[in-house]
């Protein structure tokens, strides 16, 4: 008997919960379900799932509180399910410690990709195994050489500035995961860098012009409008 | 103090335009009287002229303030400058109280009338907007019912099947149901977009500086998820500017325009998104290589009348109007404008966004 990853789905809408369960079960995960916040808490402590899929709108408590409480004692990955129009909720959830989010209506492929990335990141810690072994991150033609502090496209050095390199390097370490503007700013410019994210946005526009063939159709770094940036998953 | 402010705002609104009218009317009345004074010895025309001035002021300004001020000033002016005894205030002369009362009454009555008419006009505009909203709601509810019926029916057929349907038939039914459901999702997104522009007044949206190419790429990515078969090309200016916008709404506009190009374009296989900066605006275009828009529909594309009259085109009557009127609402709330034209071999929809926040 194989041991499978156990995923807790916290969702009060029965149909959505059933759908998520069906998608995950069909792809080799064990699924347990909770429909309220308090139920979720007791299941998290008794079952120790490998990952939690959490809907923010629960009847008995605010999803944000669940995230902060769970984060206070475990780094178990949390994926938030949210409606499209509420990007502020997404940002808040991510900044409170959620690992990623999917937007309703989501496709099975999207959900599975997020789950896969979140599980992998908690296993290998920040920076996937490949980076630790070779000092390089690759995705298609893009290579980030962490030893030489260079970003290459098809072997060509892109000549990023120092800040630009730092941004790409950070995204590469968390490849596949969305990083909020605030998170990136704090990592790069320290905790005082609150609020204005224009420097980051302009830096990113310059990066796109250096590494993407067409800045309006990026292949490597994707924008989640109003939330942050996501590097494509590595090879 | 708030009630005081609201009263002042309602009955005594101040504006540069009103002051200008007030000053101009009073000055020309005085000038006219000064001229006539030289020409004739009689002064019976003076009160007449000033009553006229009061009337003009009260009629063309908002609230009571200017009308009453004009009346008061006229009484003083008539009494002091233009009637016997000249350059002296004297209210005891026979008839002056009457003149005084008349002036004030005219000022007050006309101001009241003007204010009431203006209030009524506002009310009418509001009810017009309400009517448009109700129309949209009716059209949408009607449009939602059809796919829902289809979805429910398809799924029921598959569920109740006792082995007579082939695998392909089942797949087809489910695929239809999925397409209808996707379409419903998009419509609901559109409705949510409208509610995001709360209150119906302009400028109620939350704008933040966004880079155009980011919004483009997200819109294109979302569109590709649904329609892999379409060839989409995107070009943006080399210069990066942060445009004030609600990115979610502008993405909705782009998605609607691309959807339209595909669904109503009659044979669209290629869509092109482009942008340029021009005269304080970003001009954003969505171009397709389809059959173009029927010329008789062009003037009615954005007013929401298409889905009501069922003129959405013979090929696919569903909801062209709703998507486009949502686009228009969004673009106008941003202080831009939306237009459409036919090109040789396709159609081009173009909207503008101000580069600077207009508020």
Residues A119 and A19 placed together within one structural domain of the fold: yes
Residue A95 sits in a domain whose CATH number is 3.40.50.2300
Residues A115 and A138 placed together within one structural domain of the fold: no
Identify whether A195 is part of a domain: yes
Q: What is the CATH number of domain B133-196?
A: 1.10.287.130
- Cα–Cα distance for residue pair B307/A31, rounded to 1 Å: 45
Residue A185, pLDDT above cutoff 50? yes
pLDDT for the residue numbered B315: 37
Q: How confident is the model at residue B163 (pLDDT cuts 50, 70, 90)?
A: confident
Mutation pick from B211, B238, B252 vs chain A, by most beta carbons of A within 10 Å, is B211
B133-196 matches B208-354 in fold: no
Query: Considering only CB atoms, which chain A residues are within 8 Å of B221?
Result: 222
To 5 degrees, how large is the angle CA B299–CA B266–CA B230? 115
Residues 202-241 in B contacting A (C-alpha not used; CB under 8 Å): 208-211, 213-218, 220-221, 225, 234-236, 238, 240
- Higher pLDDT pick, B187 / B245: B245
- Higher pLDDT pick, A105 / A119: A119
- Cα–Cα distance for residue pair A104/A85, rounded to 1 Å: 10
The answer to whether residue B189 neighbours chain A at the CB level (below 8 Å) is yes
Of A70, A94, A124, the position where a domain reaches its end is: A124
Closest-CA distance, A73 to chain B, in angstroms, reads: 35
Mutation pick from A216, A222, A223 vs chain B, by most beta carbons of B within 10 Å, is A216
Nearest chain B Cα to A87, which residue? B248
Contact A214 B192 (CB under 8 A): no
Q: What ipTM did this prediction achieve?
A: 0.82
Residues A83 and A153 placed together within one structural domain of the fold: no
Residues A70 and A144 placed together within one structural domain of the fold: no
Mean pLDDT of A139-150: 90
Mean pLDDT of A1-9: 85
Of A82, A109, A124, the position where a domain reaches its end is: A124
pLDDT for the residue numbered B254: 94
How many domains are contained in chain A?
Answer: 2
DSSP string, B184-234: HHHHHHHHHHHHHSTTSSTT-S--EEEEHHHHHHHHHHHHHHH-TTSEEEE
To 5 degrees, how large is the angle CA A205–CA A209–CA A211? 110
Q: What are phi and psi of B281, to 5 degrees?
A: -130, 150
Domain positions in chain B:
2-124, 133-196, 208-354
Nearest to A217 among B189, B192, B220 (CB): B220
Q: Fill in the DSSP letter of residue A153.
A: E
Identify whether A174 is part of a domain: yes
pLDDT for the residue numbered B155: 92
Q: How confident is the model at residue A79 (pLDDT cuts 50, 70, 90)?
A: very high
Owning domain of residue A40: 6-124
Residues A68 and A177 placed together within one structural domain of the fold: no
Contact A107 B225 (CB under 8 A): yes
Interval A25-50: pLDDT, tens: 999 999 999 999 899 999 998 988 99
Identify whether A49 is part of a domain: yes
Residue A126, pLDDT above cutoff 60? no
Q: Residue B122: CB partners within 8 Å, gap ≥ 6? A: none
- C-alpha torsion sign, points B138, B141, B146, B149: negative
Q: Fill in the DSSP letter of residue B307.
A: H
Percent of chain B clearing pLDDT 70 (strictly above): 89
Residues A113 and A134 placed together within one structural domain of the fold: no
Query: Considering only CB atoms, which chain A residues are within 8 Å of B274?
Result: none
Mutation pick from A104, A197, A217, A229 vs chain B, by most beta carbons of B within 10 Å, is A217
- Cα–Cα distance for residue pair A78/A93, rounded to 1 Å: 10
Closest-CA distance, A216 to chain B, in angstroms, reads: 5
Residues 109-148 in A contacting B (C-alpha not used; CB under 8 Å): none
Residues A153 and A227 placed together within one structural domain of the fold: yes
Q: How confident is the model at residue B204 (pLDDT cuts 50, 70, 90)?
A: low
pLDDT for the residue numbered B317: 46
Query: Considering only CB atoms, which chain A residues are within 8 Å of B185?
Result: 105
Residues A108 and A24 placed together within one structural domain of the fold: yes
Mean pLDDT of B185-203: 70
Pairing mode of beta strands A51-55, A178-180: unpaired
Residues A58 and A149 placed together within one structural domain of the fold: no
Contact B248 A84 (CB under 8 A): yes
pLDDT for the residue numbered A135: 84
Residues A108 and A135 placed together within one structural domain of the fold: no
Closest-CA distance, A119 to chain B, in angstroms, reads: 24
Nearest to B242 among A84, A198, A226 (CB): A198
- Cα–Cα distance for residue pair B287/B295, rounded to 1 Å: 17
Interval B305-349: pLDDT, tens: 555 444 444 334 455 567 787 888 888 888 899 988 888 888 999
Task: Give the residue ranges of DSSP H helices in A51-86.
Answer: 63-71
Identify whether A1 is part of a domain: no
Residues A105 and A148 placed together within one structural domain of the fold: no
- Cα–Cα distance for residue pair B236/B275, rounded to 1 Å: 5
Identify whether A185 is part of a domain: yes
Q: Which two tokens mark A160?
A: 């990023």
Q: What are phi and psi of A222, to 5 degrees?
A: -105, 145
Interval B234-264: pLDDT, tens: 988 888 888 999 888 899 899 999 988 888 8
Closest-CA distance, A44 to chain B, in angstroms, reads: 33
Q: What is the CATH number of domain B208-354?
A: 3.30.565.10
Of A73, A104, A124, the position where a domain reaches its end is: A124
Q: Residue A112: CB partners within 8 Å, gap ≥ 6? A: A23, A24, A27
pLDDT for the residue numbered B316: 44
Contact A107 B247 (CB under 8 A): no
pLDDT for the residue numbered B198: 58
Closest-CA distance, A14 to chain B, in angstroms, reads: 18
The answer to whether residue A47 neighbours chain B at the CB level (below 8 Å) is no
Residue A212 sits in a domain whose CATH number is 1.10.10.10
Identify whether A54 is part of a domain: yes
């Amino acid at each position: 008997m194989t041991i499978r990853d156990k995923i807790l789905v916290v969702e009060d809408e029965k149909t959505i919960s059933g759908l998520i369960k069906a998608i995950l079960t069909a792809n080799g995960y064990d699924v347990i379900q909770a429909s309220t916040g308090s139920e979720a808490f007791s299941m998290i402590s008794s079952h120790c799932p490998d990952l939690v899929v959490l809907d923010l709108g629960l009847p008995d408590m605010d999803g944000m509180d669940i995230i902060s409480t769970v984060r206070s004692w475990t780094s178990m990955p949390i994926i938030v399910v949210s409606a499209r129009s509420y990007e502020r909720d997404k940002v808040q959830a991510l900044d409170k410690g959620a690992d990623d989010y999917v937007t309703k209506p989501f496709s099975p492929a999207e959900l599975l990709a997020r789950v896969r990335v979140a599980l992998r990141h908690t296993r290998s810690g920040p920076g996937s195994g490949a980076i630790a072994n070779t000092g390089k991150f690759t995705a298609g033609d893009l290579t980030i050489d962490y030893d030489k502090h260079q970003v290459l496209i098809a072997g060509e050095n892109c000549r990023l500035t120092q800040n630009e390199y730092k941004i790409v390097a950070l995204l590469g370490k968390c490849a596949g995961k969305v990083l909020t503007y605030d998170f990136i700013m704090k990592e790069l410019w320290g905790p005082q860098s609150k609020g204005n994210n224009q420097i980051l946005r302009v830096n990113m526009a310059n990066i796109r012009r250096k590494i993407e063939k067409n800045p309006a159709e990026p292949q490597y770094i994707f924008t989640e409008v109003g939330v942050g940036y996501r590097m494509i998953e590595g090879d | 103090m708030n009630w005081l402010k609201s009263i002042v705002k309602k009955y005594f609104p101040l504006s540069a335009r009103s002051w200008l009218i007030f000053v101009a009317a009073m000055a020309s009345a005085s000038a006219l009287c000064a001229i006539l004074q030289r020409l004739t010895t009689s002064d019976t025309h003076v009160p007449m002229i000033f009553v006229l001035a009061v009337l003009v002021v009260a009629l063309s300004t908002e609230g009571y303030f200017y009308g009453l001020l004009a009346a008061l000033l006229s009484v003083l002016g008539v009494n002091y400058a233009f009637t016997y005894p000249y350059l002296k205030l004297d209210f005891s002369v026979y008839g002056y109280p009457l003149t005084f009362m008349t002036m004030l009454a005219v000022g007050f009555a006309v101001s009241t009338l003007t204010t009431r008419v203006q209030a009524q006009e506002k009310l009418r505009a509001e009810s017009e907007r309400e009517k448009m909203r109700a129309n949209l709601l009716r059209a949408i509810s009607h449009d939602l019912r059809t796919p829902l019926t289809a979805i429910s029916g398809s799924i029921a057929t598959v569920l109740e099947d006792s082995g007579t349907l082939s695998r392909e038939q089942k797949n087809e039914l489910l695929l239809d149901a999925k397409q209808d459901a996707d379409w419903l999702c998009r419509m609901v997104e559109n409705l949510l977009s409208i509610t995001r522009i709360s209150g119906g007044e302009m400028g109620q949206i939350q704008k933040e500086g966004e880079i155009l190419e980011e919004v483009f790429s997200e819109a294109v990515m979302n569109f590709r998820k649904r329609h892999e078969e379409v060839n989409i090309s995107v070009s943006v200016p080399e210069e990066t500017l942060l445009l004030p916008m609600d990115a979610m709404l502008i993405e909705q506009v782009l998605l609607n325009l691309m959807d339209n190009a595909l669904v109503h374009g009659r044979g669209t296989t290629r869509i092109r998104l482009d942008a340029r900066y021009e005269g304080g605006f970003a001009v954003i275009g969505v171009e397709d290589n389809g059959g173009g828009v029927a010329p008789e529909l062009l003037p009615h594309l954005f007013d929401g009348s298409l889905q009501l009259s069922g003129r959405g085109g013979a090929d696919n009557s569903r909801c062209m109007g709703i998507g486009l009127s949502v686009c228009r609402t969004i673009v106008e709330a941003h202080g831009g404008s939306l237009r459409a034209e036919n090109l040789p071999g396709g159609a081009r929809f173009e909207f503008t966004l101000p580069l600077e926040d207009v508020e």
